[in-house]
Chains A and B, each alone.
Chain A
Amino acid sequence: MEVRKISDVMWEVEKTGKMNVPVTIFASENLLEKIKQDDTINQAINMASLPGVLKNIVVCPDAHQGYGACIGGVSAFDTKTGVISPGEIGYDINCSVRLLKTNLKAEDIKGKEKEIVHSLFRSIPSGVGRGGKLKLDQKELDEVLINGAQWAIEKGYGNKEDWQHIEENGKLEGADPSAVSQRAKGRGMPQLGSLGAGNHFLDVLIVDEIFDENIAKTFGLEKDQVVIMIHCGSRGLGHQVASDYIKLMDEKYGHPEFDRDLVNAPINSELGQKYLGAMACAANFAFANKQLITHWVREDLKHYFPNLKAEVVYDVCHNIAKFEKFENKEVLIIRKGATRSFGPGRKEIPKDYREVGQPVLIPGSMGTPSYVLCGTKKAEKISWGSTAHGAGRVKSRTQANKDMTLENAKKDMEERGIFVESGGKKGLIEESPSSYKDIDEVIKVSDEAGIGKKVAKLKPILVVIG
């Protein structure tokens, strides 16, 4: 397969063989080399081969191999002829990132780092085997699945301004709790309000550099400000929804010869619609989950800072399917490990940001900077309104465990001036910065390609992982 250069940050795999559309890759030469080392491009070619897929498959600069679809892959389907594949969205439905801005400055935290990181770790249920703080019954869980973050806010965990600053207002429409299996609900019920483990985290960061004063001001960000980032998903409930529908679709329709994980159903079929209803439930579970965590973060930090204000800047979805309009045509967009990046004017963007475009939140790996970008009109034209979602893994977990000891991982964080609290040693080793691509380069590509404009750089100081 040939990868043709279009510009320094844009490449194309032309449509050949089984493909219905070409693949567009956003990467520097260096990132492209890394992308070529695993199965990413083959997986993008498989995505391009599904029925009803439109225009092009987009591969983001942080892309790496996943299962079925690559991570950092975006596709769009015709709503009449297209298919929906749970594997294309991924098991962690609506794995997503929220940013809170505070009225604190870097100096307010200084000297209290250890105490605060420990306190946050204790306040937010994180790892496996330690579920959430809430005990829900079946009826309440169904309300969570329908109303998402808005359910949590009605129950007193937050305020109206919170949900107004979440993608889809924290409530993805079309949720159908009857489409979610008892098994999925059973896994979800004890886990609402927990961070999870693996690459999920809670960071306290400092706004380190502003690249666009005007947009930063619109988002309420300024230099030296303390901000908080929360990364988590739909926990066991979402995982089980994906797994259930992969099995159901395989039974009914079989799977594509080229990859079993890309099993799919027509969007308009009964099963396709049921999956979308169940997926929306999982997405809402994730929105509610993050809303609860936000509330507990606020409560916890108020012990240290009684006048604390911590407002939601924005909350973006990473693994999701949504109906969106491009050039006046409604299509089904699927983002897996990618962030929506809508430019100015879109009605989906909160009113206070609509003139500049939506905030795009891109976390770095543990210990490296995170970024706030702004969506662009160009992204809507060339990348299905999408850009990167993180640094993107480059090293396997087995290799990370060979390369690094717990002591080295801890020392590395200390040298970076970062205070970490984790449930165990695995996360510290496997999520270390050396396992990831260079976030600065990922952001540079996004900015230069015009699919996400650089606004601010955030430097981590406290990290809580499961």
Chain B
Amino acid sequence: MPYRFLEHTADVKFRATGENLNEMFISAAEALNETIRGDIKILEQKEKTFEIKEKDVENLLYNFLEEFLFLLDAENFLVSKIKSIEIKDNELKCIVTGDSAENYKFTNDVKAITYSNMFVREENGKFKCQVVLDV
């Protein structure tokens, strides 16, 4: 598993890894999506594209993850998979597939991504991050 959940009294904390930065971002998104909807399978009915530009990689990760909350709350869109992701110089372009949220029964309400104990690190050529979600 490229991500794992750690103990946290009130919220959800996870670490995600990847062979490169793109993979690490995908792992982090999977950890978030599992928290949002558990293990239910989401059909790939629609596509969404988004772009983010940030001053550093931590902010890029924060805004990337926040986009999933925005898609769910504002557009009622539940992500199935990340179809493609390109990251270069703290700029990101991502295409996701998914479906209307109302077609599924799920409950976990992630309120926000936080900066609490957040890090993004490169170790021996691999990437690792830690994120706490406010739930």
Q: How far is the CA of A366 from the CA of B55 in the complex (A)?
A: 43
Q: How far is the CB of A37 from chain B (nearest CB, A)?
A: 8
Q: How far is the CA of A422 from the CA of B102 in the complex (A)?
A: 16
* 8 Å CB interface, B92-135 against A: 101-102, 104-109, 111-116, 118, 132, 134-135
With known contacts A71-B10, A393-B10, A424-B106, A183–B111 Cβ distance under 8 A:
no
Residue of A nearest to B114 (CB): A67
B61 within 8 A of A: no
Q: How far is the CA of A66 from the CA of B10 in the complex (A)?
A: 7
Taking CB atoms, residues of chain A closer than 8 Å to B73 are 131, 186-188, 190-191, 235-236
Residue contact A423 to B106, C-beta cutoff 8 Å? yes
A196 within 8 A of B: yes
Taking CB atoms, residues of chain A closer than 8 Å to B113 are 243
Taking CB atoms, residues of chain B closer than 8 Å to A235 are 73
Q: How far is the CB of A294 from chain B (nearest CB, A)?
A: 21
Residue of B nearest to A37 (CB): B9
Residue contact B107 to A128, C-beta cutoff 8 Å? yes
Taking CB atoms, residues of chain B closer than 8 Å to A188 are 73
Most buried by A among B6, B10, B12: B10
* 8 Å CB interface, A383-404 against B: 393-399
Q: How far is the CA of A38 from the CA of B7 in the complex (A)?
A: 11
* 8 Å CB interface, B54-78 against A: 55, 59, 62, 66, 69-70, 72-74, 76, 78
With known contacts A68-B116, A398-B5, A129–B111 Cβ distance under 8 A:
no
B91 within 8 A of A: no
With known contacts A190-B76, A236-B73, A399-B7, A426–B38 Cβ distance under 8 A:
yes
Indicate with 1 or 0, residue by residue over A71-96, a CB within 8 angstroms of chain B CB atoms: 10000000000000001001110000
- Within the complex, which residue of B7, B62, B108, B112 is in contact with A242, where a contact is CB–CB below 8 Å? B112
Q: How far is the CB of B11 from chain A (nearest CB, A)?
A: 7
Residue contact A67 to B74, C-beta cutoff 8 Å? no
Taking CB atoms, residues of chain B closer than 8 Å to A423 are 105-107
Q: How far is the CB of A141 from chain B (nearest CB, A)?
A: 12
Taking CB atoms, residues of chain B closer than 8 Å to A196 are 109
Q: How far is the CA of A90 from the CA of B132 in the complex (A)?
A: 13
| Chain A residues within 8 Å of chain B by Cβ, number | 56
B24 within 8 A of A: no
A36 within 8 A of B: no
A466 within 8 A of B: yes
- The secondary-structure label for the interface of chain B is mixed
B8 within 8 A of A: yes
Residue of B nearest to A66 (CB): B10
A130 within 8 A of B: yes
- Within the complex, which residue of B8, B38, B101, B135 is in contact with A198, where a contact is CB–CB below 8 Å? B135
Q: How far is the CB of A174 from chain B (nearest CB, A)?
A: 23
Most buried by B among A235, A251, A426: A426
A158 within 8 A of B: no
B36 within 8 A of A: yes
A246 within 8 A of B: yes
Residue contact B114 to A261, C-beta cutoff 8 Å? yes
Taking CB atoms, residues of chain A closer than 8 Å to B55 are 251
Residue contact B112 to A239, C-beta cutoff 8 Å? yes
Taking CB atoms, residues of chain A closer than 8 Å to B11 are 66-67, 397
* 8 Å CB interface, B72-86 against A: 72-74, 76, 78
Taking CB atoms, residues of chain B closer than 8 Å to A98 are none
- Within the complex, which residue of A128, A183, A246, A398 is in contact with B108, where a contact is CB–CB below 8 Å? A128
- Within the complex, which residue of B10, B59, B74 is in contact with A64, where a contact is CB–CB below 8 Å? B10
Residue contact B106 to A128, C-beta cutoff 8 Å? yes
Q: How far is the CB of A442 from chain B (nearest CB, A)?
A: 15
Q: How far is the CA of A191 from the CA of B70 in the complex (A)?
A: 12
Residue contact B9 to A129, C-beta cutoff 8 Å? no
Residue contact A243 to B107, C-beta cutoff 8 Å? no
Q: How far is the CA of A7 from the CA of B11 in the complex (A)?
A: 32
Taking CB atoms, residues of chain B closer than 8 Å to A236 are 69-70, 73-74
Q: How far is the CA of A134 from the CA of B66 in the complex (A)?
A: 25
Q: How far is the CB of B33 from chain A (nearest CB, A)?
A: 12
Residue contact B107 to A426, C-beta cutoff 8 Å? yes
Q: How far is the CA of A425 from the CA of B105 in the complex (A)?
A: 10
Indicate with 1 or 0, residue by residue over B1-36, a CB within 8 angstroms of chain A CB atoms: 000011111111000000000000000000000001
A345 within 8 A of B: no
Residue contact B9 to A128, C-beta cutoff 8 Å? no
Q: How far is the CA of A186 from the CA of B76 in the complex (A)?
A: 11
Q: How far is the CB of B22 from chain A (nearest CB, A)?
A: 23
Q: How far is the CB of A349 from chain B (nearest CB, A)?
A: 30
Residue contact A186 to B70, C-beta cutoff 8 Å? yes
- Within the complex, which residue of A128, A183, A187 is in contact with B101, where a contact is CB–CB below 8 Å? A128
Most buried by A among B7, B12, B73, B106: B73
- Within the complex, which residue of A64, A251, A261 is in contact with B9, where a contact is CB–CB below 8 Å? A64
- Known pairs A128-B109, A198-B135, A247-B62; list 4 more (Cβ under 8 Å): A186-B73, A187-B74, A188-B73, A251-B55
B interface list, Cβ under 8 A from A: 5-12, 36-38, 55, 59, 62, 66, 69-70, 72-74, 76, 78, 101-102, 104-109, 111-116, 118, 132, 134-135
What are 15 residue pairs bridging A and B, where the CB atoms are less than 8 Å apart in the complex?
A67-B134, A87-B115, A91-B111, A92-B111, A92-B134, A127-B107, A190-B76, A236-B74, A260-B116, A396-B7, A396-B9, A397-B8, A397-B135, A398-B5, A466-B109
Q: A-B pairs with the 4 shortest C-beta distances?
A: A129-B101, A67-B116, A197-B109, A424-B107
